[in-house]
């Protein structure tokens, strides 16, 4: 059963990201000019402004560099509290805010190794596959 989540940011580049997630692929835009990997989705490279971007599949492997647990209820009826959030530095460079899957923040330590997985969620726009992270 799909987990209810707050509404995603949508728009052309974002929808491309979510369509890759639906295939079980985590992809980011790599600049063909300076090789920088941008996140979140952009129309032009966030480093050099080039529009020569291509979606590149990443390994999904990384490490947790920060984490927090929300006790304040920001999404009543959508997210239960306490709510664990993690900041993952992917091996390819991007920093990605996500949720732990199969562990809690009480187990996390600096550089905790993780790998991406996808869970079925829904928001007002419909069902989608959300990238979350499991212990590697």
Decide if residue 34 touches Zn ion (CB under 5 A). yes
Decide if residue 31 touches Zn ion (CB under 5 A). yes
Q: Which is nearer to Zn ion, 37 or 132 (CB)?
A: 37
Residue 55: alpha-carbon gap to chain centroid: 15
Asked if 67 contacts 87 with a C-beta cutoff of 8 angstroms, the reply is yes
> Diameter of the chain by CA atoms?
45
What is the C-alpha to C-alpha distance for residues 123 and 133, in angstroms, rounded to an integer? 20
Single residue of 5, 8, 27, 47 touching Zn ion by CB under 5 A: 47
Q: Which of residues 48-67 bind Zn ion (CB under 5 A)?
A: 48, 50
Asked if 121 contacts 2 with a C-beta cutoff of 8 angstroms, the reply is yes
Decide if residue 39 touches Zn ion (CB under 5 A). no
Question: Interface residues with Zn ion (CB under 5 A)?
Answer: 31, 33-34, 36, 45, 47-48, 50
């Amino acid at each position: 059963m799909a987990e209810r989540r707050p509404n995603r940011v949508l728009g052309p580049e974002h929808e491309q990201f979510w369509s890759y997630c639906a295939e079980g692929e985590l992809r980011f835009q790599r600049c063909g000019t300076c090789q920088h990997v941008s996140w979140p989705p952009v129309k032009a490279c966030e480093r050099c402004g080039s529009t020569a971007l291509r979606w590149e599949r990443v390994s999904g492997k990384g490490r947790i560099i920060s984490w927090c647990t929300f006790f304040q209820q920001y999404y009543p009826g959508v997210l239960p509290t306490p709510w664990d959030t993690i900041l993952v530095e992917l091996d390819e460079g991007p920093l990605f805010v996500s949720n732990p899957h199969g562990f809690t923040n009480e187990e996390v330590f600096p550089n905790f190794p993780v790998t991406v997985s996808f869970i079925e969620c829904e928001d007002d726009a419909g069902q989608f596959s959300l990238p979350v992270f499991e212990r590697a």
